[in-house]
Amino acid sequence: MPLKITIKQNGPYRVEGDLAELQIIDHEGKTVPIPEGKPGISLCRCGASVNKPFCDGTHSKIGFKGAEEARKDFDAVE
């Protein structure tokens, strides 16, 4: 199955498919180990996860809004 990335509304990037083909490289150029035995991974989009780059659900606790919704809110104030 090819890799598929789904942007969850106000949540993480969900990556599914053949994760054996996926490489995640951190800001220092080091490879980030991908958890094995799962059908997919969720990548943090809010920046608040303590398990970066993976999502730990913190986005729901802090009221994270994805760019689309945040833009709508901003435009409504103007």
DSSP string, 2-51: --EEEE-TTS-EEEES-GGG--EE-TTSPEEPPPSS-SEEEE-SSS--TT
Instruction: From residue 56, give the alpha-carbon distance in Å to each of 37, 49, 59, 78.
Output: 18, 6, 8, 33
**Pairwise pLDDT comparison (57 vs 67), residue with the higher score:** 57
pLDDT for position 5 = 96
If pLDDT is split at 50, 70 and 90, which confidence band does 8 have? Answer: very high
- What would the two tokens of residue 38 be? 């799962």
How many other CB atoms are found less than 10 A from the CB of residue 59?
Answer: 22
pLDDT of residue 77: 67
What are the structural domains, with CATH classification, of the chain?
4-77 (3.40.5.90)
